[in-house]
Amino acid sequence: MHRYIVTFLWLSTLTIAAFAQTGADSLSKRYPSGSFAPPIKEKRYHPDSTHRPHTAVMRSLFLPGLGQLYNHRWWKLPIIYGGLGLMGSAAIANQKQYNRYSALAILQRDVDPSSPKSPHYALYKKYKTDYKYFKDLPPDRITGQANYFQRYRDLSILGVLAFWTINTLDAYIDAKFINSFSVDNNLSINPVSNAGKAPAYAASNVNGFNPGLRITFVMR
């Protein structure tokens, strides 16, 4: 009985060793350098001298997103128009509320805006329901609401201009990289020791030395 068990364990050991050797041979063929990391394929992006940053800027100034299309960055369009749409809709909504409360403030100062002879009769016809609902509120509350919506309307307009400006700067930066810079994945580090005279304002001795270390990153 013991002999059969020993024979079985011996055969199992030989089988496992054979599979391990086969796996090691396949790994050595796949990764000849001995590392299990996949081989890095060198990528090099050469500049395109015909790609003009000025053209990208002018197109983005004319219509947001045109510069990104010129730079082949179409995936940025939803971000740009999403931001512009949110800021634009906020500006329109706040302007509508500002007009409403401004009209109510004017109607409150009128003696009888419901009279056809009143100079504000047109406003009364337009905001008749709101006037009946808010006419008993203190005038300063109506004016405060008008100022509130005016402020946020102005901020929303500034947000639209900010998104437009960011869209133009983004188009310029992308075009500049395409036009002028060559980029690949070959990054080298060059440490250089640096020892020299210390500045006069920092050195207690005129002949003192200021040790230092400078590290240069080079993308070739």
Is the pLDDT confidence value at 9 over 70?
no
More confident residue, 154 or 218: 154
User: What single-letter DSSP state applies at residue 117?
Assistant: T
Distance CA 194, CA 146 (A): 64
Per the prediction, the chain carries an average pLDDT of 77
Who's near 166: CB < 8 A, 6+ residues apart?
none
The answer to whether residues 43 and 185 touch, using CB atoms and an 8 Å cutoff, is yes
Q: What is the pLDDT of residues 106-146, one digit of tens each?
A: 998 887 888 888 888 888 888 888 888 888 888 899 999 99
| Total-model pTM | 0.60
Number of helices and strands in the chain (H, E): 7, 4
CA-based max dimension of the chain: 121
Per-residue pLDDT tens over the stretch 163-196: 999 999 999 999 998 888 765 555 555 555 555 5
- Predicted confidence band at 7 (pLDDT cuts at 50, 70, 90)? low
Half-sphere exposure for 76 (CA within 13 Å, toward CB): 19
At 192, phi and psi to the nearest 5?
Answer: -130, 125
The token pair that represents 199 in the structure block:
């500045």
